């Protein structure tokens, strides 16, 4: 148990679930009992209700909400656009591609003045946009400084400047990443951003810069929602993208190759699913979040090893996780030499010490992550692979 302090959140009562929050002793007892019982097939606290239509209906409806989602055609942006539509909002989605399966697609580029909008689109968006979500840029952990800083630095500056042009604006939300904390030391809460940390890659630094710019824009009604890796089937359909972020490890593990992880991956990796993440963004728009920072992750706190096991389960594969001694850079280099994917090589030790009580700062009721989103990720990968083999 000594190494499992993160498990304190596992059996915590959720606001709105009809139970009283467990005290510290109760939480410890619940966590201890969890470790005596066999793990369920899906990593899920017993009290978590299955995701269903009624849960989705609970999103607060805000009359006359016109949401502009910058980057709303991506993996997370599509889930956010769908959740906004379910809440009754009118949705516009801006991307360089310009088309969208949800709401109205608008062509633009956050790196350009006035988001590169045509005069007609600019006039319409200015006239009635009440809410904005910043959800642009990829999560590639291997992108270089040029691409990352252009998007998350210059793009964010221009997106924030654009908010000044919206007379009807009530609330904006920036989708940040816990990885903006880099290799932060000490206990992390919603307050910390710069702790003197080093960054593992340009993506982490880019997300740090973006959140810094948002925090410094004191005159704007823009809040921050932080997520760790977001998993689950792609809301756009098709095979999940395994080119970036944590999913890079999945094909590697499914092919039977080993990954070297400290404590054999028995540490939290702060994942959640796309639908609960999207509902948190809608909650931030509608509550509204104001200028606060929220952090959301699956309260069941699956460890990195559990994430890998659950994603591989539908394939009948047990991931080969090899103990890596905490030798820092040497372990990482060794891991790369023996085949750990390059993107993962920097994430093989506990990432940082996040205070799980940050969840309590999100007003209830909380969304419930889909009960089997990790297994569903594995099944979507398998079905995608079968479809590819048939064509
Ligand atoms: N996925 C996660 O696990 C996760 C976790 C925490 C935070 N986030 C944050 O959520 C955001 C989206 O992540 P994602 O996984 O959904 O990425 P994604 O699937 O790669 O989507 C990126 C979106 O941004 C758009 N975009 C990229 N460059 C743009 C530009 N210059 N101007 C306008 N739109 C642009 C893309 O459309 P076009 O290419 O057509 O322009 C697309 O709609 C990122 O900021 C990421 O840091 C993601």
Question: Could you give all domains of the chain from N- to C-terminal order, each with its CATH number?
Answer: 59-233+270-298+352-369 (3.40.50.720)
| Residue pointed to by tokens 């017993």 | 46
70-126: pLDDT as tens digits: 999 999 999 999 999 999 999 999 999 999 999 999 999 999 999 999 999 999 999
Residue minimizing CA distance to atom 41 of ligand 1: 96
Ligand 1, residue 136: give the atom nearest the CA.
24
How many angstroms separate the CA atoms of 241 and 11, rounded? 32
CA 227 to ligand 1 centroid distance, Å:
13
Q: Mean pLDDT in the chain? A: 85
More confident residue, 5 or 259: 259
215-255: pLDDT as tens digits: 999 999 999 999 999 999 999 999 999 999 999 999 999 99
What predicted TM-score, i.e. pTM, was given to this entire model?
0.87
CA 73 to ligand 1 centroid distance, Å:
8
283 lines ligand 1 (CB under 6 A): no
- Compute how many other C-beta atoms are within 10 angstroms of the C-beta atom of residue 216: 10
Six token digits for residue 275: 């639908």
109 lines ligand 1 (CB under 6 A): yes
% of the chain beyond a pLDDT of 90: 75
- What is residue 60's predicted lDDT score, i.e. its pLDDT? 63
% of the chain beyond a pLDDT of 70: 79
Question: Over 80: is that where the pLDDT of 190 sits?
Answer: yes
Ligand 1, residue 210: give the atom nearest the CA.
45
């Amino acid at each position: 148990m000594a190494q499992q302090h993160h498990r304190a959140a596992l059996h915590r009562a959720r606001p709105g679930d009809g139970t009283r929050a467990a005290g510290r002793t109760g939480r410890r007892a619940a966590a201890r009992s969890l470790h005596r019982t066999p793990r369920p097939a899906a990593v899920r606290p017993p009290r978590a209700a299955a995701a269903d239509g009624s849960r989705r209906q609970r999103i607060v409806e805000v009359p006359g909400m016109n949401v502009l989602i910058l980057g709303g055609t991506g993996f997370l942006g599509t889930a956010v656009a769908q959740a906004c539509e379910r809440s009754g909002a009118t949705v516009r989605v801006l991307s360089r591609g310009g088309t969208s399966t949800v709401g109205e697609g608008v062509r633009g580029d956050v790196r350009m003045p006035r988001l590169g909008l045509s005069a007609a689109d600019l006039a319409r968006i200015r006239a009635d946009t009440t809410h904005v979500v910043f959800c642009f840029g990829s999560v590639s952990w291997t992108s270089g400084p040029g691409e990352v800083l252009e998007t998350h630095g210059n793009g964010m500056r221009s997106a924030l400047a654009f908010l000044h042009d919206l007379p009807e604006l009530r609330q904006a939300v920036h989708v940040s990443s816990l990885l903006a904390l880099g290799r932060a030391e000490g206990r992390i809460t919603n307050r910390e951003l710069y702790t003197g940390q080093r960054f593992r890659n340009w993506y982490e630094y880019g997300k740090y810069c973006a959140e810094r710019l948002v925090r410094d824009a004191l005159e704007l009604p823009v809040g921050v929602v932080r997520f760790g890796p977001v998993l689950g089937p792609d809301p756009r359909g098709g095979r999940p993208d395994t080119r970036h972020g944590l999913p890079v490890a999945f094909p590697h593990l499914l092919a039977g190759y080993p990954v070297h992880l400290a404590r054999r991956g028995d540490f939290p990796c702060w994942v959640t699913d796309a639908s609960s993440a999207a509902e948190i963004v809608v909650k931030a728009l509608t509550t509204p979040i104001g200028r606060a920072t929220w952090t959301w992750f699956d309260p069941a706190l699956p460890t990195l090893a559990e994430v890998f096991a659950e994603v591989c389960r539908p394939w009948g594969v047990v991931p080969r996780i090899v103990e890596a001694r905490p030798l820092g850079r040497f372990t990482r280099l060794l891991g790369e030499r023996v085949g750990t994917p390059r993107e993962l090589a920097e994430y093989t030790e506990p990432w940082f010490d996040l205070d799980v009580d940050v969840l309590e700062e999100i007003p209830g009721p909380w969304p419930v992550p889909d009960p089997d989103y990790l297994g569903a990720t594995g099944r979507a990968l398998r079905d995608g692979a079968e479809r590819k083999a048939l064509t």
